[in-house]
Amino acid sequence: MEEKTSLFKKSGFQTLIASVLCAILGILLGFIILFFMNPGHAAEGMFAILRNFFKYANNKTNLLYYLGSTLVKSVPVVLCAEAILFAYKTGLFNIGCAGQYTVGIIASLYTGIALEWNWFLCILAAIAAGALWGCICGFFKAYCNVNEVIAGIMLNWIALYICNIILGNKKVMNTTKSETYNVSKNSLLPTFLSNLFGNNTYVTIAVPLTIIVAIVILWVLNKTTFGYELKATGHSKDAAKYAGMNAKRNIILSLVISGAIAGLAAGLYYLTGIEHYKIASSVPGMGFSGIAVAFLGGLHPIGAIFAGLFVEYITLGGQYLNTNYYNPQVADLMIAIIIYLCGFVLFFKTIMNKPTNKLGLKPGEDQANKDAADKTAHKKEV
Amino acid sequence: MEDYVIEMLHITKEFPGIIANDDITLQLKRGEIHALLGENGAGKSTLMSVLFGHYTPEKGVIKKDGKEVKINNPNDATALGIGMVHQHFMLVDIFSVLDNIILGSEPSKFGFLTKAEARKKVLELSNKYNLMVDPDALIEDITVGMQQRVEILKMLYRDNDILIFDEPTAVLTPQEIDELMKIMKELAAEGKSILFITHKLNEIMAVADRCSILRKGKYIGTVDVKNTTKEELSSMMVGRDVKFAVDKDEAQPKEEVLKVENVCVKSKLHSKDSVHNVSFNVRAGEIVCIAGIDGNGQTEFVGALTGLDDIESGKISLCGEDITKKSIRYKNTHGMSHIPEDRHKHGLVLDYTLEENMILQRYFEPAFSKNGLLKKDKTRKYSDKLAEAFDVRSGQGAQTIVRAMSGGNQQKAIVAREMDREHKLLVAVQPTRGLDVGAIEKIHEAIVKERDAGSAILLVSLELDEVMNLSDRILVMYEGEIVGEVDPKKTTLQELGLYMSGAKRDTGKEA
């Protein structure tokens, strides 16, 4: 039986279209908000956000410098997205990513400022901390049947307060500026092609590492028996059990790895020195933005890279908004809306599939019925 | 001119890459019982979906009482008086019978329910057709047969006069089937028109007036049941002659493979054990069948045996080794194959491809992976080999997502996988569920071949034909206990039915 599928019906292509649609819709809504706040300057404001660092188009060094900064700032959000999508493939919603990211900050900054370890060890510490946090969550899920969302959210707050206590230490925190000291030279990540980015020393090995991590995740999920097991557990816990897979072990491992990636995200960001940690009263948003990025990227490890770049591009674009006309928080609001809309990828895909798949079908026995239903079943493709 | 209530003329419905209904004509006379017969994937469901407005056909017209009608959604169908008893009942367990019947068209005044009238109508209908339904009983307390009658009452209450029964006998005992047949005949005598979807030929012969046959999306013909035979019907359906009796020699049981001693399983719902003190054995080279009505502890017992559920007490040995507390993986790799009852829940990862499902319990073996890396080409070859041997058909071969395959082919894939795995014991739970006669024949042949090759086979089945045809010994399970052991050659369906309904039990239980 030959099946002719048009390009439009291919799942991967649909995801791409849906993601682009979401991004465009988000930008439109952002524009509407700007319009209501100050109609006269809305177009100008939107343009500033979208033009972003291309403002420096005539100055190549500056342009590349800011491009570099955007790349660096995209690293943590992309990695958080990778962490979330990895757990998601196993059927786990790792909202605790934010907490795992936070303990990653603790580990990397404490070892990098107070202990002045070598950068490599600092990164390892961050990974270990994230993994531990993921492990706690996984343990509760596997052995006490505590939903990973509940445990994750609670652990997020625990992480935040531990972070405030440890990084509030005089060895780490510059109390006059109420932010952490600079990371010691020894602990800064080695730069990577920074002369290519207008001598932006924040451009470090974090950038290529992120891409490598994404590729490794893709590889693990699709080529290894481990990925086969994890995905089987994610698709159908009962079938995985029937096949003799160890569901408990898989749940814990999946969250440990997810947590390790989140911890790595924190390490690879704060050890560039581009940002100092400030005592905060809320959990860092990076882990949550990661959720949106993961979905915007179609739950694909490579897609998440592009989605992360887009989200970070818009986020940084907020800085270019003219504060004479707009409250600086407006940029945050717009970004929040765009990120929110990013979660609608699946929704758009469903709409695209409407014509061939009418509702109200019972799980019949006809090949044809199933074929039609299959088009939507593809939603969760790898 | 004939008096047709519903005519579906020259219906054609295409899906990408497949014509599900190719110029199909179905004419239902007033007051007749019309059977619709076809293999899995023959297009029966699609045709009914067209009738109910789920699909719009590319070609063809639907006529009601000779006038052309457009059915765009299920509400249109209901308005035309078309009602359906689904294979899986659509009832709210914790509601009473009456509440379930009026659900969706509740009679009310000023926002308050007026049940008195509804009750009167339900009782009248119940008496008229001898349904004997108690309107105040809760659905969860009544038998499956009763529940089906509630479904029938639901259609009658809505004044439907075209009644569609979708494989209604799958869940019933022989006695209940007889009663359903009587009810169907009475309904037809009252002028209701019945469309009866099934692939059980005995029932068609017993109750239907005419029978339309579909094969691979095409209309084969309509025959008067009076003038035909089972053999003719089945060859029309499958396109070749089919044997009904399974060819098999006398079993030659050898050493004991499975030994079950005093197994108890706690019920998840109530304080009584759902499996109580079950003991028996299965020897190499024989097929032992556990028969019984659905819900009498078979599922729970198999769960305990295979490791899907916890066992409360007792001992299970495989080839002399105590495996009571062993993991599923251990059982899988030490000689137990399992065709599970619920292929969607347990048997398959529906979003995986066919080839990925074919190695579900074996992906870690050296044949399919090395150092934790999957050997995709080996898997592909293996999957293709199994698919060919068991005639598993799928749209895109080994790369088809299993969810997109028809139920029959999904089942064949599981059977292929479990039979090919190295095993000493095959636990087959409803191995032919939802399959057509052609496929059933093949699977039965394969099971007998397994037996002759020296496998021990434990068959759990609700299909009495299968039980009688295939097994060498029959154990009947009733309310969690083995209430009798019979020899299929010496027993009758009636005797088996008595055991199954708890009316008869052996006092001295044999192992």
* DSSP track, B365-391: STTTEETTEE-HHHHHHHHHHHHHHTT
Q: Angle CA(B226)–CA(B437)–CA(B491) in degrees, nearest 5?
A: 80
Secondary structure element (H or E) that encloses residue B101, with its range: helix B97-102
Q: Could you tell me whether strands B473-478 and B481-486 are parallel, antiparallel, or unpaired per DSSP bridges?
A: antiparallel
Q: What is the pLDDT of residues B435-483, one digit of tens each?
A: 777 788 888 888 998 899 889 999 998 878 888 888 999 999 988 899 9
Mean pLDDT of B56-67: 88
Grade residue A25 by pLDDT with cuts at 50, 70 and 90: confident
Task: Provide the H-helix boundaries in chain A.
Answer: 11-37, 42-51, 60-89, 97-109, 119-144, 148-167, 206-223, 225-235, 237-242, 247-270, 286-296, 301-317, 329-342, 345-353, 367-377
ipTM of the shown complex: 0.74
The 8-class DSSP code of residue A7 comes to: G
The CA–CA distances, whole Å, from B477 to A94, A248, B298 equal 45, 34, 7
Q: What's the rounded Cα separation, in Å, for the pair A97 and A94? A: 6
Q: Return the higher-pLDDT residue of A120 and B342.
A: A120
Chain A residues touching B418 at Cβ < 8 A:
none
Q: Considering only CB atoms, which residues of chain A are within 8 Å of chain B?
A: 1-5, 9, 223-226, 228-229, 231-232, 235-236, 238-246, 356, 358, 360-374, 377-378, 380
A369 to B46: CB separation less than 8 angstroms, yes or no: yes
Which residue type sits at B399? Q
- Candidates A238, A357, A370, A379, partner chain B, best to mutate (most B CBs within 10 A): A370
Q: Return the higher-pLDDT residue of A346 and B409.
A: B409
Nearest chain A residue to B21 by CA: give it.
A368
B54 to A235: CB separation less than 8 angstroms, yes or no: no
Grade residue A114 by pLDDT with cuts at 50, 70 and 90: confident
- The CATH number of residue A250's host domain is 1.10.3470
How many CA atoms does the CB half-sphere of B157 hold within 13 Å?
A: 27
CA A331 to chain centre: 20
- Paired tokens of A259: 């947590």
Which is nearest to A295 in space by CA: A27, A90, A84, A72? A84
DSSP, residue by residue, B163-197: EEEESTTTT--HHHHHHHHHHHHHHHHTT-EEEEE
Residues in chain A: 382
Q: Over 50: is that where the pLDDT of A378 sits?
A: no
- Residue matched to tokens 């070749």: B240
Q: Could you tell me whether strands B59-64 and B273-283 are parallel, antiparallel, or unpaired per DSSP bridges?
A: unpaired
**Which residues does residue B83 pair with via DSSP β-bridges, in sequence order?**
B163
B45 to A369: CB separation less than 8 angstroms, yes or no: yes
Grade residue A353 by pLDDT with cuts at 50, 70 and 90: low
Residues in chain B: 511
| Distance between A226 CA and the closest CA of chain B, angstroms | 7
Q: What's the rounded Cα separation, in Å, for the pair B418 and B426? A: 8
Rg of chain A over all Cα atoms, to the nearest angstrom: 22
Domain extent at residue A186: 63-319
- Candidates B360, B409, B414, B421, partner chain A, best to mutate (most A CBs within 10 A): B360
Q: Over 80: is that where the pLDDT of A7 sits?
A: no
B404 to A373: CB separation less than 8 angstroms, yes or no: yes
Does some domain include residue A374? no
| Distance between A344 CA and the closest CA of chain B, angstroms | 22
Chain B residues touching A238 at Cβ < 8 A:
345-346
User: Which residues, numbered 36 to 65 in chain B, qualify as contacts with chain A under a Cβ-Cβ cut-off of 8 Å?
Assistant: 40-41, 43-46, 49, 54-55
- Residue matched to tokens 């050898």: B254
Neighbour-count burial for A303-326, b at 16+ CB within 10 Å, e otherwise: bbbbbbbbbbbbbbbbebbeeeeb
Q: What's the rounded Cα separation, in Å, for the pair B372 and A230? A: 13
- Paired tokens of A372: 């039609």
Which is nearest to B405 in space by CA: A371, A358, A360? A371
Q: What's the rounded Cα separation, in Å, for the pair A19 and A310? A: 11
| Distance between B287 CA and the closest CA of chain A, angstroms | 23
* Phi and psi based region of residue A3 (left: phi greater than 0; alpha: psi -120 to 50; beta: remaining): beta
Q: Could you tell me whether strands B82-85 and B162-166 are parallel, antiparallel, or unpaired per DSSP bridges?
A: parallel
| Distance between A135 CA and the closest CA of chain B, angstroms | 23
- Burial (CB < 10 A; 0-12, 13-18, 19+), residue B351, is buried
Which is nearest to A285 in space by CA: A327, A346, A207, A340? A340
- Burial (CB < 10 A; 0-12, 13-18, 19+), residue B234, is buried
Grade residue A104 by pLDDT with cuts at 50, 70 and 90: very high
Mean per-residue pLDDT over chain B, rounded? 86
B329 to A377: CB separation less than 8 angstroms, yes or no: no
Chain A residues touching B407 at Cβ < 8 A:
365
Q: Is B352 on the interface with A (CB under 8 A)?
A: yes
Q: Compute the CA torsion angle B170, B174, B178, B183 (nearest 10 deg).
A: -40
Task: Provide the H-helix boundaries in A90-180.
Answer: 97-109, 119-144, 148-167
Grade residue B76 by pLDDT with cuts at 50, 70 and 90: confident
Strand ranges of the sheet holding B313-318, from the earlier edge strand across to the other edge: B273-283, B256-266, B313-318, B321-322
Q: What is the pLDDT of residues A163-189, one digit of tens each?
A: 999 998 888 888 888 888 888 888 888
Which residues touch B51 (CB under 8 Å, ≥6 apart)?
B6, B8, B62, B71, B77, B82, B164
3-class DSSP state of B291: strand
Does some domain include residue A367? no
Domain count, chain A: 1
Nearest chain B residue to A370 by CA: give it.
B404
Which CATH superfamily does the domain covering B246-335+423-511 fall into? P-loop containing nucleotide triphosphate hydrolases (3.40.50.300)
Mean per-residue pLDDT over chain A, rounded? 83
Which is nearest to B63 in space by CA: B26, B23, B13, B12? B26
Secondary structure element (H or E) that encloses residue A18, with its range: helix A11-37
Grade residue A311 by pLDDT with cuts at 50, 70 and 90: confident
**Chain A to chain B Cβ contacts (< 8 Å):** 149
The predicted structure's pLDDT at residue B317:
93
Nearest chain A residue to B340 by CA: give it.
A242
- Residue matched to tokens 């445990």: A151
- Paired tokens of B406: 């028809």
Orientation of helix A301-317 relative to helix A60-89, angle to 10°: 130
Does some domain include residue A249? yes
In contact, A96 and A259? CB cutoff 8 Å: yes
Orientation of helix A148-167 relative to helix A97-109, angle to 10°: 20
Q: What's the rounded Cα separation, in Å, for the pair B223 and B231? A: 13
Q: What's the rounded Cα separation, in Å, for the pair B129 and B185? A: 10
B45 to A370: CB separation less than 8 angstroms, yes or no: no
Chain B residues touching A373 at Cβ < 8 A:
403-404
The predicted structure's pLDDT at residue B148:
85
- Who among B356, B372, B395 is closest to A1 (CB)? B395
Q: Over 50: is that where the pLDDT of B511 sits?
A: no
In contact, B466 and B290? CB cutoff 8 Å: no
Which residue type sits at A266? A
Q: What is the pLDDT of residues A30-39, one digit of tens each?
A: 888 888 888 8
| Distance between A370 CA and the closest CA of chain B, angstroms | 5
| Distance between B215 CA and the closest CA of chain A, angstroms | 12
| Distance between B17 CA and the closest CA of chain A, angstroms | 5
Mean pLDDT of B113-127: 87
Which residues touch A357 (CB under 8 Å, ≥6 apart)?
A372, A373, A375, A376
CA B58 to chain centre: 31
Which is nearest to A61 in space by CA: A237, A206, A211, A194? A194
- Paired tokens of A5: 């599928």
Q: Could you tell me whether strands B108-109 and B112-113 are parallel, antiparallel, or unpaired per DSSP bridges?
A: antiparallel
Does some domain include residue A178? yes
- pLDDT cut 70: percent of chain A above it: 87
Q: Angle CA(A322)–CA(A325)–CA(A328) in degrees, nearest 5?
A: 60
The predicted structure's pLDDT at residue A267:
94
φ/ψ of residue B142, rounded to 5: -105, 160
Q: What's the rounded Cα separation, in Å, for the pair A186 and B24? A: 79
Q: What's the rounded Cα separation, in Å, for the pair B171 and B175? A: 12
Q: Return the higher-pLDDT residue of A342 and A264.
A: A264
Q: Angle CA(B76)–CA(B434)–CA(B341) in degrees, nearest 5?
A: 120
Does some domain include residue A47? no
In contact, B357 and B348? CB cutoff 8 Å: yes
The CA–CA distances, whole Å, from B336 to B305, B425, B430 equal 10, 5, 17
Which CATH superfamily does the domain covering B4-238 fall into? P-loop containing nucleotide triphosphate hydrolases (3.40.50.300)
A244 to B17: CB separation less than 8 angstroms, yes or no: no
Domain boundaries, chain B: 4-238, 246-335+423-511, 344-421
In contact, A62 and A72? CB cutoff 8 Å: no
In contact, B511 and B306? CB cutoff 8 Å: no
Q: What's the rounded Cα separation, in Å, for the pair A221 and A200? A: 34
Sign of CA dihedral B356, B362, B364, B368: negative
Q: What's the rounded Cα separation, in Å, for the pair B480 and B477? A: 6
Per-range mean pLDDT, top range of A207-216, B138-147, B149-158, B384-393:
A207-216
Task: Provide the H-helix boundaries in A271-300.
Answer: 286-296
| Distance between A281 CA and the closest CA of chain B, angstroms | 42
The predicted structure's pLDDT at residue B244:
66
Q: What's the rounded Cα separation, in Å, for the pair B425 and B306? A: 11
Quote the pTM value: 0.74
The predicted structure's pLDDT at residue B208:
92
